[in-house]
Amino acid sequence: MNVKGKVILSMLVVSTVIVVFWEYINSPEGSFLWLYHSKNSEVGDSSTQRGWWFQSWFNNGTQRYQEEEDIDKEKEEDRRELQLSDWFNPKKRPEVVTVRWKAPVVWEGTYNRAILENYYAKQKITVGLTVFAIGKYIEHYLEKFIISADKYFMVGHKVIFYIMVDDISRMPLVELGPLRSFKAFEIKPEKKWQDISMMRMKSIGEHIVGHIQHEVDFLFCMDVDQVFQDNFGVETLGQSVAQLQAWWYKANPDEFTYERRKASAAYIPFGQGDFYYHVAIFGGTPIQVLNITWECFKGILQDEKYNIEAEWHDESHLNKCFLLNKPTKPTKILSSEYYWDYYIGLPSDIKIVKISWQTKEYNVVRNNV
């Protein structure tokens, strides 16, 4: 058979197959190819069945596509960085300072807790909290601190308490709530309380490098002689977080008790400064806290070379670090509501006290020798 004959024969075969197939699918017996339920008398005729199958397939396919599109949108929302305008409204508190160099000053009423909680819940964050209790500070303050922190610190989120003591056998036994755990570390005691205060910067940095950076997303460092009174929540989280000092939050910068001696690494000249920060609370991401503690520790070592002790020890170095060091400059500032001294009274600015100072019995607790 020549080539032309083969072509004609092939066309006849294909045409026959198409006709047979078309007749078959239009027959009652052929409908099972389109819809398995064809033998069910409730379904109806084959043409209806085929129409139902196509519509069902199309609708299901469209629904799946829509669901996938919705999931993609949700993932995109999860990945999107939270913007300041999403949760912060400075106009809610016009009577106080609420913004500095684009950093929010967080006061009660300025933040939307629901938006923040929704955002951080999706991130599945873990927040760390370091606290030091040396000598008589253990018996005098530590138990109250842990109990109150367990109740009010980052409620609903995973928390790790890093407790630094000079004698683990004297640690109080406190039962923690869900999502809470603690790690206790025994550290070397110092002879003077000033050295204890300043050397904690070195200790925090070592623990961040050693393990904390792999365990938490955010880290706060706090003094032990304080007690939580209300929710200290996700509105406080940021890259670099500073705490306003209660006694100085309204003062003129030239009145601040910065270190004014030029020989000190903590020196801040008159005419500079925006706020006075309290070393009792600072935080941020682990890497930023590491940078903060390292800058402070470098300043402390430099002062030691010249036999200088800064006016307010590690707090003086912290203020210098936050003022002049761009990488560690605060990206979020906590109002004095987050750490208040009731000895001042309770002015109208202070709506809700989050943490309060404990009575400072220095004559008792600082005799650690």
CB neighbours of 272 closer than 8 A, spacing ≥ 6? 253, 323
Q: What pLDDT was estimated at residue 138? A: 92
- Of 274, 129, 291, 139, the closest CA to residue 209 belongs to 291
Q: How far is CA 337 from CA 28, 136, 211, 340, in A?
A: 79, 28, 32, 6
Mean pLDDT of 3-10: 58
- Across 41-55, 78-92, 97-111, least confident range: 41-55
Residues in CB range of 170: below 8 A, 6 or more apart: 138, 139
What phi and psi, each to the nearest 5 degrees, are found at residue 277? Answer: -100, 145
pLDDT score, position 71: 52
pLDDT band with cut points at 50, 70 and 90 for residue 101: confident
pLDDT at 39: 35
Query: pLDDT at residue 257 above 80?
Result: yes
Measured CA to CA, the distance from residue 33 to residue 151 in angstroms comes to 64
Q: What is the pLDDT of residue 343?
A: 93
10 Å CB burial of residue 235 (0-12, 13-18, 19+) is: buried
Mean pLDDT value across the chain: 82
Q: Quickly state the pLDDT bin for 273 (edges 50, 70, 90).
A: confident
**What is the pLDDT, as a whole number, of residue 311?**
86
| Token pair belonging to 135 | 């000598």
Read off the pTM: 0.77
Point out the residues that are catalytic.
315
Residue 85 φ then ψ, to 5°? -70, -15
pLDDT at residue 57, as a whole number: 44
For residue 48, the model assigns a pLDDT of 42
* 3-state SS class at 103: strand
Is residue 327 pLDDT above 50, yes or no? Answer: yes
Average pLDDT (198-205) is 88
DSSP 340: B
pLDDT for the residue numbered 102: 84
Please name the helix (run of DSSP H) or strand (run of DSSP E) that holds residue 150, with its range, or none: helix 143-152
Q: Kindly report, residue by residue over 112-161, the tens digit of the pLDDT.
A: 999 999 999 999 999 999 999 988 899 999 999 999 999 999 999 999 99
| Triad 304, 310, 312: Cα angle to 5° | 140
pLDDT bucket at 69, cuts 50 / 70 / 90: low
Q: Phi then psi for 172, rounded to 5 degrees?
A: -70, 145
Contact (CB, 8 A) for 225 and 169: no
pLDDT digits 0-9 by tens, 340-362? 999 999 999 999 999 999 876 65
How does pLDDT run across 170-192, given as a tens digit for each residue? 999 999 999 999 999 998 876 66
